[in-house]
Structure 1
Amino acid sequence: MAAGLTGIWAVRILLLRDRVIAIWALVVSVVFGCWFAFQHDQRQQRTLPEMTNTTVQLRVQPDDVLVGPDSVQVKGRLPTGQLVTGQYYVGEGEKPEPQWRVMKTSVMTVAGDIQQFAPATNVNEFDYGEYQRQNGVFNRVKISRLVAVRPAVPRTLWQSWLNGCHAIRQRLILQTKRLPPLLAMYVQGLFLGFRADNFYDNLSAVTDLGLIHLFSISGFHVVWLTALVAFVLKRLRCSETMVNVILILVLPSYYILAGAAPSLLRAILVSMLVIIAALAGWKISPLTLWGLSLMLALIWYPALLMQLGGQLSYALAFALIFVEGRSAFAKTMLLNLVSLPFVLYHVYQWHIWSLLANLLILPVFSWLIFPVTLIGAVVGLKFPMLAQMCDHLLGWFTRALDAIAAMPGMITFGKPHILLVIALVVLTLLLLAGRHQRQVIIGLTAVYTLAFMLIHFPVKGEVTFFDIGQGDSFMIREPLGRQITMIDTGGDVFFGGHQVKRRSRALRLNINYMKSMGIHRIDALCLSHQDADHVGFVGDVLQTMDVKRLYIPWGMAANPQFMRRIRPGLKHTKLISVHAGQHITGSGLDVLHPFTPGLGGNEDSMVLTGVYGGLRFTFTGDLGQEGEKDVIAHYPNLRTDVLKLGHHGSKTASAPEFIQALKPKWGIISAGRNNRYGHPNPETLATLAQQHVPFFNTQTNGMIRYRFRDHHPGYWETVMKEEKD
């Protein structure tokens, strides 16, 4: 995306046909090219090798230590200068030691393992490691214990100022936690750039309606701050020059206090450039301000345009220059069009009510919600009744957003190809310029339509094995999207102790991938049996996807624990029990097992088989060796090309007789890395070797895809290895 934006800029420079501008552009390009190359080299040098059982010292800021009920997340700097993150989890029934709760910049000595970030192993999965590297963090520490904590002594005036800002921010975050819950969430999000763990759970409508920019501290907040400070200072009879000098000192401090977000960096830089120009008597056009702020931001934060926040911040700021003087409706429409290509590329979906929400809610937010939150933040602790009133008002506002977001209109568009995104950005810029409006609108409509059709009606189908960890989850998508079948959902296995609260892996992995492919409906969801590592995320799938039919093995409907898990999501989904000899409607899958009813144990696993792209696939759930022998006894002529090995490669499955009878050309193992069971077991691997069956393994290959066209043989793709034919 960043390369595409750079290409658009280069084309624009060439079209200007101005030699002076071209020379300056070339100079700037060379300078920034060298700067980015230097940063890339620094990334390689600052990445540490993995080490176990080591002790390190971390210089940490107090607001970079997040202490939870059963864990601690920390970010700090090693004595050599590298930034690292650290994670510490306490034992069952324990709480983090009080020493973790620091109020000033400290040096923590911790014992643990230095690790590198794991790569994303599914297509379109958010790459957390790359995100951290873009932010200058190259390693993480798996902390086993806290050895010592001591105050950090600042060595320079710069360090003293920086430490003071972080200490104030930490105190403010802790103070706001004493406010009523919703008010605290709004205060922290709007003024401190801090989002609690449950932020997106309680304010899901904000993201669904594309209103997250209201909680991203940016130009809107800086304008408020500068106007408020200037108003107070002028009432104190300060001169205009004094006001500007004080603002130049205040704005960098607010950048730290508000969390130092990329979107805030742009706003702070623009405000400071305006003030400096006023003090120097210079006249700077809005476009020049935008360009200068971008160059300064890229020096400070080279990966700015690699992230959605930075892309939206500068794209919308650029658009605001050209929509000045237009009606509120025209402004909202154009700004939504500017942001839409970026949103679709990163988020894959868009709510049709987001346009109306932005048009109606922004004034309410500006003139009511923002002041109410500010009042609640300033006086809420002194006047609890007033804080409760503010909390109730914010509650009404949030429920109104929830009601709008619940209305039909969420479009799962999918992830458009980068070349189409660039075309959309170019056409939208032409629309802003006001030239050839009719032709541009036709072009935009045509490109959006083309992108939608390519995503939703793909020529190729696929059989996808998600890397869901220690569990199973697969998807079959037929060419042109005729039928979508999902087999198992994956799930977390809990063995006691503390559970770490985090976003569901289904929402980050398999559901995320399906949305990136434009998939919002599942024609058939087949659950092999009731184990949590196969069906634990069924609630997420039923809640976020339009599931037509849910298939379960014969007798599992009598399992009350399982039924309690799925019943809340069975609003428009037909529940169907199946046994051997039946078919999964419309999918081409035949049911080979179970033969008798059961409650959904491993021995009751649903076994499915079907032909896709010239290969026969067989999915066996967690069926054990005795069940496998029953299958070949009932179907002595059964053969398969691709066998999903039972029970994640456990020795309790994959009987040698079963493998010999089916004669698979490929085996698929779906298992978690470093799982406690030792899957796949050596016995299973030995059986595959003896039978000369090559295999893919999600542990080493990540997501595995077999892609094919109608009536044509397909090919294999893996995320973590080269393609295999």
Structure 2
Amino acid sequence: MSGCVFGDFWVSAGLAGIWLIRIVCLKDRSILIWAIVTSLVFGCWFVFQRDQRRLQTLPEMSNTTVKLQVQPDDVLVGPDSVQLKGRLPTGQQVTGQYYAAEGERPAPQWQIKRASTLTVAGDVMQFEPATNVNEFDYGAYQRQNGVLNRVKIAQLLAVTPATGGHVWQRWLNACHTLRARLIIETKKLPPLLALYVQGLFLGYRADNFYDNLAAVTDLGLIHLFSISGFHVVWLTAVMAFVLKRLRCSQAAVNVIILLSLPSYFVLAGAAPSLLRAILVSMLALGASLMHWKVTPLTLWGLSLMLALLWYPALLMQLGGQLSYALAFALIFVEGRSTLMKTVLLNMVSLPFVLYHVYQWHVWSLMANLLILPVFSWLIFPVTLIGGLLGLKFPVVAQLCTHLLGWFTQGLDTIAHFPGMITFGKPHIVLVVLLVGLTLVLLTRHRQRTVIIALAVTYAASFLMIHYPVKGEVTFFDIGQGDSFMIREPYGKQITMIDTGGDVFFGGHQVKKRSRALRLNINYMQSMGIHRIDALCLSHQDADHVGFVGDVLKTMAVKRLYIPWGMAANPQFMQRIRPNLNQTQLISVRAGQTIPGTHLKVVHPFTPGLGGNEDSMVLTGQYGGLQFMFTGDLGQDGEKKIIAHYPQLRTDVLKLGHHGSKTSSAPEFIQALQPKVGIISAGRHNRYGHPNQETLATLAQQHVPYFNTQTNGMIRYRFRAHHPGYWETVMKEDAT
């Protein structure tokens, strides 16, 4: 029911139909009635919540003043920026971003120590949609969690302490205030110890978390740092042990833990994935106090229903899916060996991981098997002791840091073993089938048949992703820059032209995950691509080659092509040399071809250092259309091309320099006679790309065009020796 409203309707409706058939087959009228009534209640609740969110989403407003009720642990003050989450007086949740003037730091007033009301001036904006295929939709994620708008803050006008309110609000404020203080205090610990303490017990991840603990993600161990059932069971066991040593009765122990769990839920960051563990523990403790016998499956089901009342879209997120899928599977693996438990739980999680992350490390199974006991008996105690005593006794902090450092180095060593498999994103129907077959495997019925079916399904999914019948020419929406990919049918040849890159104008560079890893590399991995046969860089500008380091580190690049003379540019060579490894560097000039592809080089004619005028220009035929990629070549270079190649024609022209008036000379467009133009430019870019003169030239020559600003990612998909068709993420047609 939740999926029908918040996710994929047809898949969810199909699962609901299967579930209903199962209920009918039980031939128990009371169960059928209860199931229908419950479904109707939850269905109405989900629709109501969806409609409320639509109604409460504010229209965009510029230069307005708003009041934000914020908690101190929801305000993250950086060197030159502030990120926060708060509520408007009307109850809507919003995020806020503030950037200090260049060379300045945020004012001390941002460092609030208790619940406060911030009066700010700025713009109320809606979240931008994902504009590339398989790009993480941050706006949808925030809306699923009830955050409906964002505020671009220009100025902090006033800070006033929040009023006490009712008992519930005072308790909530106290928990948030304590969490904020704990985060501040733990930052004084040695950096590595601080990362572990904050991640394992406070649900807080610093900006450098993934840089320092990259192996945790690569080996599929991030769940150990996502506070959930594993942490709650460990902490409640420690509390019970201490309370019993203080001679508390079992009933008193249960009551104290039961009353403490809601506070810990807030102290640990109140993540949706943590809610299940808290609810299960509270329900189990309540049942014990009432002397009720409740089965684990009943606890699981009750916790799911209560969680969906609080977070209706919980199961649309990877954290919620893994939390409930693994908890469900744990019920059925009791009594099996540790090895078999680990294998089965990894098999349950694998379809979800592949659907959202696209990769899997073959060593993750061994890592989970070996490291879970280490976490229970070493890492948790060491981290807790270091967090509690580290500030008062620096020697203890240093000792704990050394132990955690050895552990982290061990993870890094394992993560660097070969074995990372780029599987790609399987179709959601196959994901459902894989999950269903794995759950059947837990029942121990017809195991041989189920294992064969699983193997066949995984193999079929892998082959469909890695050897697609259709090829594609893809123009990524990389912002202000260029990045394109050509994939021939059946994955025979992968060519990438430019990588995109960040361009800064003396403003603020926010530390976050590389856009390449979130956009073009992410898309390629989702399509099962782990190698690039030919990486062609048009010239040295950062908006074209800025992400080349990420591409070279992430992908197995066979050959790197650059325009004639750019190898003599020391600045460019310094950028790529550390990551070349086994990649062959090749310079090309007009008249040459890119081996293994259909691409021919038609510029440059003379060597250069990689300026706009030295841009590599490529042309080639795919899916019955002739494509041309022009980099940032100016009008003088365009005229040289048509002078050297007077018979040259093209069907699809990637306009030079993002549609600038310095490119796309009228005689160049007239000579090439393109049928479609492609403009790759960033939204609201400071250059005003595309220029109106260029658009007028296209109009005069009757050339329709796609623009990544309005169309998002653009794909031309085709079969071998057949014409293809155009697709855009944002559904506007070519202008």
Q: Do both share a fold (TM > 0.5)?
A: yes
Q: 1: distance between equivalents of 2:234 and 2:17?
A: 35
Whether 2:540 is the aligned partner of 1:530: answer yes
Letter in 2 for 1:15: R
Q: Identify the match of residue 576 of structure 1 among 583, 586, 589.
A: 586
Which residue of 15, 31, 46 corresponds with 2:22? 15
CA contact (8 A) 1:8 1:426 kept: no
Q: 1:497 to 1:673 in 2, by over 3 A?
A: closer
Superposed, 1:38-437 pairs within 5 Å as 38-437=48-447
Deviation at 1:12, TM superposition (A): 4.4
SS at match of 2:631: coil
Cα 1:337/1:6, change in 2 over 3 Å: farther
Alignment check: 8 A CA contact 2:705 2:734 kept: no
Q: CA deviation at 1:724?
A: 6.7
* SS class of match (1:583): coil
1:452 to 447, 451, 462: 462
- Structure 2 unaligned segments of length 5 or more: list them: none
Q: Is the Cα contact below 8 Å between 1:265 and 1:297 reproduced in 2?
A: yes
Residue deviations 1:634-690, cap 9 Å, x none?
000000000000000000000000000000000000000000000000000000000
Task: Give the Cα separation in 1 of the matches to 2:19 and 2:295.
Answer: 18
Does the Cα contact within 8 Å between 2:706 and 2:734 map onto a contact in 1? no
Partner of 2:622: 612
From 703, 718, 723, the equivalent of 2:713 is 703
Work out the CA distance in 2 between the residues paired with 1:103 and 1:481.
56
Secondary structure in structure 1 of the residue aligned to 2:122: strand
Q: Distance in 2 between matches of 1:514 and 1:329?
A: 34
Provide, for residues 334-390 of structure 1, a one-character-per-residue CA deviation record: whole Å limited to 9, x for no partner.
Answer: 000000000000000100000111111111111111110010001000111110111
Answering whether residue 675 of structure 2 is matched by residue 665 of structure 1, we say: yes
1:233 Cα shift?
Answer: 2.1
Question: Letter of the aligned partner of 1:14 in structure 2?
Answer: I
Question: What are the residue-to-residue correspondences of 1:591-606 with 2, within 5 Å?
Answer: 591-606=601-616
Aligned to 1:654: 664
Quote the Cα distance in structure 1 between the aligned partners of 2:429 and 2:587.
45
Which TM-score applies when normalising by structure 2?
0.97
Check if 1:686 corresponds to 2:696: yes
- Per-residue deviation at 1:558? 0.2
Per the TM alignment, residue 21 of structure 1 is displaced from its structure 2 partner at its CA by 2.4
Distance 2:218 2:439 in 1: 25
In the other structure, the counterpart of 2:35 is 25
CA-based RMSD: 1.2
Structure 2 counterpart of 1:412, one-letter code:
T
**One-letter amino acid of the structure 2 residue matched with residue 356 of structure 1:** M
Give the CA deviation at 1:577: 0.1
Cα distance in 2 for partners of 1:641, 1:549 equals 27
Structure 1 position 578, deviation (Å): 0.1
CA distance in 2, matches of 1:370, 1:69: 31
Which whole-Å CA distance do the structure 2 matches of 1:236 and 1:13 have between them?
A: 51
The one-letter code sitting in structure 2 at the alignment partner of 1:257 is L
CA distance in 2, matches of 1:718, 1:666: 14
Counterpart amino acid of residue 181 in structure 1:
P
Matches within 5 A, 1:475-494: 475-494=485-504
Helix, strand or coil at the partner of 1:708: strand
What is aligned with 2:725?
715
Report the Cα distance in structure 2 between the residues aligned to 1:232 and 1:389, rounded to whole angstroms: 24
Secondary structure of the corresponding residue to residue 584 of structure 1: coil
Contact 2:711–2:730, Cα closer than 8 Å, also in 1: yes
TM-score of the aligned structures, taking structure 1 as reference length: 0.99
Give ranges in structure 1 of 5+ residues lacking alignment: none
CA contact (8 A) 2:706 2:733 kept: no
Please tell me whether the aligned partners of residues 215 and 415 of structure 2 are also in contact (alpha carbons under 8 angstroms).
yes
Q: Deviations over 1:590-642 (max 9, x none)?
A: 00000000000000000000000000000000000000000000000000000
Instruction: Kindly indicate whether residue 571 of structure 2 is the aligned counterpart of residue 561 of structure 1.
Output: yes
Q: Identity percentage over the alignment?
A: 78
Shift of 1:323: 0.5
Q: Distance in 2 between matches of 1:26 and 1:322?
A: 27
Q: Which of structure 1's runs of 4+ aligned residues deviate more than 3 A?
A: 1-10, 722-725
CA distance in 2, matches of 1:562, 1:21: 69
Q: Distance in 2 between matches of 1:662 and 1:13?
A: 61
